Structures are given as structure tokens and as C-alpha cells.
Structure 1
Amino acid sequence: MLTMQLNKNKLMLRWLSTHSRRFHSTTRHEPRSSYDAVVIGGGHNGLVAAAYMARGGKSVCVLEKRHVLGGAAVTEEIIPGYKFSRCSYVLSLLRPQILKDLELKKYGLKLHMRDPNSFTPMLEDSSPSTGVPRSLLIGSDHSKTYQQIAQFSAKDAEAYFRYEDKLTSLVEALQPLLDSSPPNIHKLTSGSLQEKWREWRDAVKPLVTVGRRLNVDIPSFYEMITSPATKVLDKWFESEPLKATLATDAVIGAMISPHSSGSSYVLLHHVMGELEGRKGAWGYVEGGMGALSDCLAQSAKDKGVEIFTNQPVAHIESRDGKVTGVVTADGREIHASTVLSNATPHVTFTQLMSKGDLPSEFYDEVRAIDYTSPVTKINVAVNTLPNFLAAPNTPDNQPLPHHQCTIHLNCESTDLIHQAYLSAQQGEWFHRPVIEMTIPSSKDLTLAPEGHHVVLLFTMYTPYELSGGRQWDDVTRGQYADCVFDSIERYAPGFKESVVGRDILTPPDLERTFGLTGGNIFHGAMALDQLYLTRPTPKFSGSVTPVQGLYICGSGAHPGGGVMGSPGRLAALQALQRRR
């Protein structure tokens, strides 16, 4: 087995030669000295914000520190011939209004829908009736899904569709909050009478709509956003394979257990999306997630946005409580009365700004934001499809339905997930880590050589800091990846032999590579104390900040993480409203 931590210089040269269109994002060689607005970071939210600002008639530039646009929504050929969605890897949460406003289909966005949506194989003796271990395959076909769940519990098979309907009704009730900014507590408490009235007026409209839609369902909603996922799931179901499969959505990307209070909200957050008009559906972007970022960039450029890669920002400039522009790492000053930061709140306020330019109370609140992350992403190139004992491949080795969805490994019970969480709390990884496997090349033939595949492993729980003072280095990365591969081998013998190369991104790697503080994919934990009115901080919710003209447009702002675009859109709308 070949373990690949490729030389960065060699990697850069290959990417520059084969994908140059991603880097030369504008015809200008360097930014001008002034714009109406500067966007820090060319992640998907930054590109959305830039496009909306330009749509509002402003001159805008985007400054991206990496050689490639997209932030965490990026495609990289890290192993020759294999294109990986290196960080984020599936699409659902992108707001329909953004897709429409920015005409992303016109710019070539192509989606591959997934159905079924989840597959959970078991580690058990072969079933007498089928000769293979059992597995759980869940999709939109009610009859087939009923039969799959009924293997474990007829009662659960009956309850499952009622459960889905309940989640759908709660999600539909919450939709207005995803597309509107929360009230700003600072203006409500210390603003002028006119500002207070405006904040209340703008905040009440979506809240009234939510309340009207919830109606008698308010108790269910309250339970859903405050309870442990296990409490909610135990009320609905009795079979562990089903409960554990559903519980993964309650913990994915979050350093919490299914037994943690509020984990049900994380579950709800992950079913808030839609794709091609189908509620809760997920899909693959053809060409990887970077293709979405390319479409966003092209839409922004056609509206006049100037985009520059390899342009890290060193400092955000302000004077007398107002933003005045930015200084790049090479010392270039770019003046702007509006700056939108796609970086995390931690990076924006503690690394790009001077402490003296911020109110001390606000600075302390930013430093208190929880960025704990459990995620290690492993991108794998393989020369054949994984062959699961519970669902053997066909002789021609063509993808089957279960290869095309999210494959849950070590998820036969919620206790397994909880044990993995407890190990991380001690600075260790569990011998059976939680693994979400996707194989986008099973649907998208552009990602790998014929007959080969890219396998994306979203794994948990891995601590940022290991016990005993150990560091994440080549040795510990390899040891953890070997542990993950050993688990996969038990479900799909031959997997390890099929590996062509791998790329391992622990929480510190995610922080270094993508600027994700703590390795947190949401730009801050999606906990109840860091949502809506308190995201990113209790007194400055949404995109506004204590510095006039400076806005947060990344996932650290409301409504939070995922490839949603809403934080970028809302930040731009706030900025445009201020400038009127």
C-alpha cells in the first residue's frame, strides 16, 4: 500500500499546469488600490457575497490566500489522475434563491442526485436466508425502505415515514430563518430609537412566519433543538442499526455524542436542504465541489468582481471605529469602506485585526467561541470499487445503488458512536472510528481513470491534541489512517490492497490548509449557545461587527455551516442596506 503525503511543490506545479483556469481568475495581474468592497477569502460564501455586492452596483475584489478558489468547497488532483472534493464533498444546503439569483446552472453547474441516500452494512454472521450479513439501505422508495428497516423492526418500518414527515414539517417551518438576518442585540440595546424599531421590525417578520408554521408543533420543535439525539430517536425507534444511522447526522462534524444535549439540532440542520426541488436530497457536483466554486466565481466575474488568488490578507485596517481597507501579505494597501471576511471570526478578529481596534468585551467573546472539531478527512484513490460482504459486487464490478450514497461504517449502534466520542475526550482515537464513506466517482465519471474510483472518508472522532503530548505528524496520521482502513477491510475485504494513494487531513491539517480554526468545518460549533442570536457572539449576531463597514460573511455567521451560501448572501444584503 502506497501512503502519499505528496511533495507540495510538485503538487502545485501539476495543478498549475492542468487546471490553470482556476488560478488566473481575472485579467488583471494585481488588485487596484481601492474598491467599494473587499472580500477576504474566496470560499463559497465569499464568492456569494462578492456576487451580490456587485449585483448591487459596487466595485468588488476577492482576495484568496490559496492558489485555488473555493475554500473548503474545492476540487484538487492531489493524486495524479484522481480529482477529490478535498474537504466538503456533497451538496444539499445551498439556498435555492442563490442558485437562481446567480444563475449557477447557466455557468455549468451539473448535479448528480443520490438515491438511495444511506447504506449501513453490518459486521455479523451471514444471514441464513441470503448467505450474506444484513445491511440497511434507505432511499426514497417507500416499499424498499420499509422492507429494509423491517429486517430489524416492523414497528420501526411503520414509524420511519412518520418520522421523516415530522422532520420535514419542522424544517419547512424554519426556512424563513435561513434566509433572513437575526436581530442585532447591540442595536436593540444601545442603538437609536429608529435603529431599535428597524431591528425589531425586520426580526419579527420571519419569526412570526416560523411561529405560524409551527402552530401546535412548538413543543416538538423545542425538544428537537434542545434534546440529545438519542432521546428523540428512542421515542421513535427501537432498532439500533436504524437509530445509529440516523444519529450520524446529529454528530457529523461536531465534537458531541448522540447523548449530548442539542445534538438533535445538528441532525435537523443536516436535513434542511433541498436539491432539484427535492426536500432533504443530497447530491454530487460534477467535477467535485470545486466546480460549484468555479460557477460562483464566473457568475461574480461576469458582474464585474475582480478575483485574485495567492493574495493573503495580513491586516484589516480601521480608523475611529470604521473599516478603511486591508493590507495584503506583500504590503499592498487596498482601500475600501466595506470589508467582508469569509475567514472564521477567530482569524478575522484575533489575527487580522489589532486588539486595540475592537471593544475588549467583544474581543473576549470572540476568543471564547468553541471551535472544537472531531473530523479527520481521508481522501483515497482506489483501483477498484469496495466490495462489501453485506452487498457483494457484480462480476463486472459496476457501481451498485449502495456505492452511490453515504456508507456508514462502525454505525451498528449508538453506543459505538458514543464510545468513539469518549475516546476523543481522552486524546485518543477509538479502534472502531465512525466512518462516513462516499464514492462520488460511482456517479461522476470525470473524477478518476476508467475502472478506478475516488473514495472520500469523513471520519470521527479525532482530537485536535493527542494525549501524552503527541503531535499529529506523518507517523500518527498514518497510524490513524491504518486504523480506519482496518475497519473498512472488515466490511469490505480487499479494500487495503486496492489503495493507490491517500491524503490525510487531521483537525490541525484542516486548520492549516483551509483556515478552519480548530479544524471545525462549521467555522464554530453549531451548539445552542452559538446559534441565531448568539452567532458569532451574543451581542453581535449575524454578519455585523463592532467595526462599521466590516462584516462576517462566512459560516461563523448565521445561519451557520455547510455549503449553504446564506451567510455570504445575508452579509452582502446587510452591507448594501447600510450603504444606501
Structure 2
Amino acid sequence: MFRQLRKCSNSAAKQLQKKYDAVIIGGGHNGLTAAAYLAKAGKSVAVLERRHLIGGAAVTEEIVPGFHFSRCSYVLSLLRPTVIEELELKKHGLRYHIRNPSSFTPIRNSDKSLLLGLDMKENQKEIAKFSQKDAEVCRDSFLSSNSPIQNYPKYEHFMTEIVKAVEPLMDEAPPELIPGQLMKMRRELGKIYRILKPLGMKNALPFYELMTAPIAKVMDRWFETDCLKATLGTDGVIGFSASPYDVGTGYVLLHHVIGGLDGKTGTWGYVFGGMGAVSKAIANAAQSHGANIFTEKEVDSILIADGQAKGVKLANGTEIEAEMVFSNATPKITFLGLLKENELPADFRQQVQAIDYTSPVTKINVAVKELPNFISRRHEGAGPAPHHQTTIHINSESMQMLHEGVIDYMNGQWSRRPVIEMTIPSSVDRTIVQRDGDHVVLLFTQYTPYQLKDGPWDEEMKKKYAQHVFSQIDEYAPNFSKSVVGYEVLPPPDLERIFGVTGGNIFHGSMSLDQLYFSRPIPKYSNYKTPIKNLYLCGSGAHPGGGVTGSPGRLAVKEALGDSKKFLGIF
């Protein structure tokens, strides 16, 4: 399977031509999505990928012999159902396992833990170990309903209602709010009103608070249990250089629960074959419509003539003409790296330079010879227990613990107690390991500065950090460090260098409120267009932002092709 993935990435079905209808810079999942829709519309398309394999941050690589890692992104939920359906991705090989249970929070120095999944009654039993109030019937004091209802089910119902209302925004381009065009602004804002209208007055104020408040405040509204608040609240700071006590973290949580799989809201799954199999399925769809995908083709610059994109120049000097150019790179790379200074308006460049790419994330990919055995939920035998298939939240027992990690980070140091999301995809997908008993462990850790106070992220520093993280895990699962047979540490500078994500930011730019929707990547250019005619942004730096969604790729093509009736059938 993995030999097939690599073979597809390294060989092109056709020789690179001198001219195409569209050229796409970057073979990440959004670039591949754009290619699929363009090819489906009958356009000749070339995808140009810098690395030796396609997928961008959604790749599967054999880092330790016999162990295949989802090297950067690692779980699936946000991929838009419209993309799955319109590109027939299941037909093209996409397979996944929906996790249930889905979340496990062990408690340090305790026999207690919190296991959550799709079964509400089981969730209530788990929560009741910490708080009867959070799990059992209580009088509604947050929403306007007067009927008694359980706290956790009430929260789940509220989030489901919010997701139902907001999710359509993921599949639509943001409104063009152009000063002076009052009637158009009214029409565009009217679209947002019609989408959000089903929220109703009952949910309007809680929704506003969720969008603007610190996630710690939101969780305090709902629950009294520290580990429940922190478990749910970590989605508000994941990949975000912020404390749970900072404003805007509520929206980051919403972004992470807005997805789902097979109609089940908020569910996450493991892709069989790793996240590279998502990119492979999209590539298969693109190639089935005639798109050409090339690896080891680094783009040096975008060719501009008379204010219009005319193609690209490769690092080897080859020039390729195109009527349209789509960039899957970050806004900074696209506008400040691939274009000359005089090719963009000065005020536009200034706004691009101000985009925040700060990232607190270090990814550690670990090969182990046995599963972690947690003190709080011991298991017998070599096979995985239900909690091994979940996202395992380590050092996530309280909001204060998360906050203390941010304080270390702001002082130029990694967190003394890093927030760790551990996933073990091999607990359900045995295609990614070769031997019985072996497992792939993926650690998404924060908070780690791009530039450490104590020196650069050299090999010795990365080794020290890995040992620090492993020792933290040992406090919950004492056998972990002894089980490690190999690992890779990817701090922010390495994430930037390898995957082309500026600042190591996995979202192509912070998901703060000032960099979302009609301000993503900057105001007046949130609709995938740029100051350069026929140059479009199709990566996560555009709406709706980060995560493996496929939405920026789809919407960029929709914007480029316009409302012509002959293209309506591809969407």
C-alpha cells in the first residue's frame, strides 16, 4: 500500500507541458482538491509539489523502519461532506474508522480517569465519578428553557444546535464587504443572517459568548468538574498560542467541533493508511478527471504581466504558462516570497506582513513496542483497550494547568507540563505497522516557542524536549519511555521547513477572531481573489481556515469559475 502511495507521488502520468489552463502551487490536500474540481470542469491542470510526495501536511511517511506515521495532521473530522460526495472520495479509496469512545483523560497520581464517546448514558456515568451535578438532572440556569435537563447532555445539545447553524458558512465564500457599495454589503450580510437565523434568540447570546469569550469562562458556565472543563476546553487552545483565559479561544473550540463523519456531528476518525490516504484519494479523483500531478517541482516565482498572473517559474528555470494560478502556499509565501515587491500594492503587502503565524506546537512521532498502560485505567494483555483508540489528554486536568504551560511559553521556554494530545492510530489500523505488538503513537504537544530562550532547536535540544515529554507521559503510564524504539521531533521551525507552514503554524495563520471569515487572510481579500488578476489563494490561509477540510480548494475554484451554468454541475 505504502509503496503504491510513494510510486504515485514520484512519477507523473504525463510529461510536464509548457502551458495549462490552471497551475496549482503546492500538492497539499487543498491544492489537490482545487485540481480535482478544475479538472472536473474540463480544465487542463498541473499540480506542482516541492516535496517528493503529495499531501502537504496530510501525508503518511515511514520515519522509523516498519512504522508509518501521519507525520503532521493525524485525525479526520473537518473534511467537508460536500467534498467527499462531489469528488466521490470513498470510491477513490478513502476509508476511515469512527472512534468510539473518542476522548480519554487520565488523572495524575490517581485511579480516576474520564472516558467520553458517543453513548450519552456512558458519558454520564463517567462524569458522575467526578460530579453528580455535571452528570445528573439540574435546573437550567444558562439557557431560557425551564425544563430540568442534564448538564452534559444540555451542553452537547447546545453545541449541536450551534454547529447546525454555523456549518453552512464552511461551504460558502465570505461576503465581499466593499466600502461604498452599500447595497451589495446589505445583500451579503443578509446571507449571513439567513444562515444564522435558525439559532433563534434563545441561543443568540450564548453563541455570541462562545465566539468571543475565553474558553475557560464558557466552560465555567456549564460545569464544575475541572478535568471535564479542561478536556473539552483543550479544543479551544489546540494549535493556538493562547491561554484558555484569553478571548477568542471559544471560537477555536467551535472550529474543532464543527466537523463530523457520516452525519455524526463532532466525531473524529482514523484514516486507514494514515492521513496520506486522504490526499491520495483526492489525487485519485483529480487524476480520474485528467489532472496532472508532479512532485519535486519547486516553484520559484509567479509570472506576472500587465497585473495578471501568466504562469509560474520553477526553481530549475522552467517557465509554465497558465490562464489561472492557484496557490496552496501560505499568504506570506505566496505574496512575499513568490512575487516581487513592485507587483503588489504597498498597503496590501503591509497587511500580509502583519498576519500572525505564531505557533506553540511541536509534533512528536513515536514508534513503540507496546501500548502505554495507564495507572488510572490499567489493562491486561497485549491488545488495545477501548481508551487506546481515543485522543488521550495528558496534563489536561484543569484550566489552570493549561494556563501555567502558556506562562512558561511566554517566557521563551517549553511548558514544564506540556499539554499533550496522544493518539494511537495503530490501535485500529494495523496497516501502518509491520509486527504484532508494535504501535504508532502521535504526540501533538504545546506550548513550545519557535525560538527558545535557551538556544536553537538543534538535535540535542529536540532530544531533551522528547525526553521531557516522555517523562511526563511516564507519570500517567510508567511503561511508556521503556517502550520507545524510535521517534521524530518536529518543533515549529521544522514544521515550517518541511511542510512550508509559515512559523510552523498548522492553520496557515492564527485562527484568532481578527483573522477569520471576511478578514482571512486580510479584509477585502477574503474571497480567494488577490490584487493580481487570475491569481487565487486556495490554501488554509483563506476561509474557513486550518484543518483538513478541502473547503478553501473547492471555494477558490468556485470563485474562479464564476456563476457560469456550465460549471454548476461540478459543485
The interval holding the TM-score normalised by the smaller chain is: over 0.9
Question: Alpha carbons of 1:422 and 1:574: their partners in 2 closer, same or farther (altered >3 Å)?
Answer: same
- Distance, in Å, in 1 between the alignment partners of 2:363 and 2:183 is 46
Partner of 1:146: 124
Partner of 2:153: 161
CA-to-partner distance for each residue in 1:115-154, whole Å, 9 max, x for gaps?
11100001124xxxxxxx1000011112211111111111
Residue 200 (structure 1) shift: 5.5
Q: Give the secondary-structure state (helix, strand or coil) at the position aligned to 1:387.
A: coil
Question: Alpha carbons of 1:384 and 1:557: their partners in 2 closer, same or farther (altered >3 Å)?
Answer: same
CA-to-partner distance for each residue in 1:336-366, whole Å, 9 max, x for gaps?
1211100000000011111110011000000
Residue 18 (structure 1) shift: 7.2
Question: Alpha carbons of 1:503 and 1:302: their partners in 2 closer, same or farther (altered >3 Å)?
Answer: same
TM-score, normalised relative to structure 2: 0.94
Residue 207 (structure 1) shift: 3.6
Task: Work out whether residues 300 and 313 of structure 2, in 8 Å CA contact, stay in contact via their aligned partners in 1.
Answer: yes
Residue 26 (structure 1) shift: 2.6
Task: Work out whether residues 437 and 457 of structure 1, in 8 Å CA contact, stay in contact via their aligned partners in 2.
Answer: yes
Q: Does 1:326 align with 2:312?
A: yes
Residue 201 (structure 1) shift: 4.0
Q: Give the secondary-structure state (helix, strand or coil) at the position aligned to 1:454.
A: strand
Q: How does 1:36-75 map to 2 (within 5 A)?
A: 36-75=21-60
1:275 alignment partner, one of 254, 261, 275:
261
Q: Give the secondary-structure state (helix, strand or coil) at the position aligned to 2:19.
A: coil
Partner of 2:539: 554
Partner of 2:144: none
Given residue 150 of structure 1, which amino acid in structure 2 is its aligned partner? A
Task: Work out whether residues 10 and 53 of structure 2, in 8 Å CA contact, stay in contact via their aligned partners in 1.
Answer: no
Stretches of structure 2 lacking an aligned partner (at least 5 in a row): 136-149, 566-571
- Distance, in Å, in 2 between the alignment partners of 1:407 and 1:302 is 38
Q: Give the secondary-structure state (helix, strand or coil) at the position aligned to 1:311.
A: coil
Partner of 2:163: 171
Residue correspondences, number: 549
Residue 277 (structure 1) shift: 1.5
CA-to-partner distance for each residue in 1:238-257, whole Å, 9 max, x for gaps?
11111111111000011011
Partner of 2:204: 218
Given residue 139 of structure 1, which amino acid in structure 2 is its aligned partner? G
1:135 alignment partner, one of 95, 105, 113:
113
1:402 alignment partner, one of 387, 391, 397:
387
Q: How does 1:505-520 map to 2 (within 5 A)?
A: 505-520=490-505
Partner of 2:398: 413
Partner of 1:88: 73
Q: How does 1:422-441 map to 2 (within 5 A)?
A: 422-441=407-426
TM-score, normalised relative to structure 1: 0.92
Question: Alpha carbons of 1:316 and 1:199: their partners in 2 closer, same or farther (altered >3 Å)?
Answer: farther
Partner of 1:315: 301
Q: How does 1:363-402 map to 2 (within 5 A)?
A: 363-394=349-380, 396-402=381-387
CA-to-partner distance for each residue in 1:44-86, whole Å, 9 max, x for gaps?
0001111111112211110000001000000000111100000
Residue 275 (structure 1) shift: 0.3
Question: Alpha carbons of 1:204 and 1:34: their partners in 2 closer, same or farther (altered >3 Å)?
Answer: farther
Question: Alpha carbons of 1:197 and 1:576: their partners in 2 closer, same or farther (altered >3 Å)?
Answer: farther
Question: Alpha carbons of 1:47 and 1:253: their partners in 2 closer, same or farther (altered >3 Å)?
Answer: same
- Distance, in Å, in 1 between the alignment partners of 2:267 and 2:505 is 24
Residue 455 (structure 1) shift: 0.1
Q: Give the secondary-structure state (helix, strand or coil) at the position aligned to 2:374.
A: coil
- Distance, in Å, in 1 between the alignment partners of 2:121 and 2:204 is 31
Task: Work out whether residues 10 and 52 of structure 2, in 8 Å CA contact, stay in contact via their aligned partners in 1.
Answer: no
Task: Work out whether residues 407 and 437 of structure 1, in 8 Å CA contact, stay in contact via their aligned partners in 2.
Answer: yes
Residue 217 (structure 1) shift: 1.9
- Distance, in Å, in 2 between the alignment partners of 1:214 and 1:536 is 30
Q: How does 1:438-517 map to 2 (within 5 A)?
A: 438-448=423-433, 449-468=435-454, 470-517=455-502
Partner of 1:6: none
Task: Work out whether residues 323 and 338 of structure 1, in 8 Å CA contact, stay in contact via their aligned partners in 2.
Answer: yes
Task: Work out whether residues 100 and 117 of structure 2, in 8 Å CA contact, stay in contact via their aligned partners in 1.
Answer: yes
CA-to-partner distance for each residue in 1:208-230, whole Å, 9 max, x for gaps?
22224444422111111100001
% identical aligned pairs: 53
1:21 alignment partner, one of 7, 27, 42:
7
Given residue 276 of structure 2, which amino acid in structure 1 is its aligned partner? G
Q: Give the secondary-structure state (helix, strand or coil) at the position aligned to 2:10.
A: coil
Name the Cα RMSD after superposition. Answer: 1.6
Given residue 534 of structure 1, which amino acid in structure 2 is its aligned partner? S
Task: Work out whether residues 170 and 214 of structure 1, in 8 Å CA contact, stay in contact via their aligned partners in 2.
Answer: no
Stretches of structure 1 lacking an aligned partner (at least 5 in a row): 1-14, 126-132
Partner of 1:129: none
Q: Give the secondary-structure state (helix, strand or coil) at the position aligned to 2:105.
A: strand
Partner of 1:5: none
Partner of 2:174: 182
Task: Work out whether residues 41 and 63 of structure 1, in 8 Å CA contact, stay in contact via their aligned partners in 2.
Answer: yes
- Distance, in Å, in 1 between the alignment partners of 2:399 and 2:202 is 30
Question: Alpha carbons of 1:21 and 1:207: their partners in 2 closer, same or farther (altered >3 Å)?
Answer: farther
Partner of 1:247: 233
Residue 541 (structure 1) shift: 1.1
CA-to-partner distance for each residue in 1:500-555, whole Å, 9 max, x for gaps?
10011000000000001000000000001000110000121131111111111000
- Distance, in Å, in 2 between the alignment partners of 1:578 and 1:34 is 25
Partner of 2:508: 523
Task: Work out whether residues 536 and 542 of structure 1, in 8 Å CA contact, stay in contact via their aligned partners in 2.
Answer: no
Task: Work out whether residues 34 and 554 of structure 2, in 8 Å CA contact, stay in contact via their aligned partners in 1.
Answer: yes
- Distance, in Å, in 2 between the alignment partners of 1:241 and 1:555 is 31
1:564 alignment partner, one of 545, 549, 554:
549
Q: How does 1:287-298 map to 2 (within 5 A)?
A: 287-298=273-284
Task: Work out whether residues 408 and 416 of structure 2, in 8 Å CA contact, stay in contact via their aligned partners in 1.
Answer: no
Partner of 1:347: 333
Q: Give the secondary-structure state (helix, strand or coil) at the position aligned to 1:493.
A: coil
Residue 199 (structure 1) shift: 6.8
Task: Work out whether residues 5 and 280 of structure 2, in 8 Å CA contact, stay in contact via their aligned partners in 1.
Answer: no
Residue 156 (structure 1) shift: 1.1
Task: Work out whether residues 182 and 203 of structure 1, in 8 Å CA contact, stay in contact via their aligned partners in 2.
Answer: no
Question: Alpha carbons of 1:136 and 1:343: their partners in 2 closer, same or farther (altered >3 Å)?
Answer: same
Given residue 45 of structure 1, which amino acid in structure 2 is its aligned partner? N
Residue 318 (structure 1) shift: 1.2
Q: Give the secondary-structure state (helix, strand or coil) at the position aligned to 2:562.
A: helix
Q: Give the secondary-structure state (helix, strand or coil) at the position aligned to 2:366.
A: strand
Partner of 1:10: none
Q: Give the secondary-structure state (helix, strand or coil) at the position aligned to 1:270.
A: helix
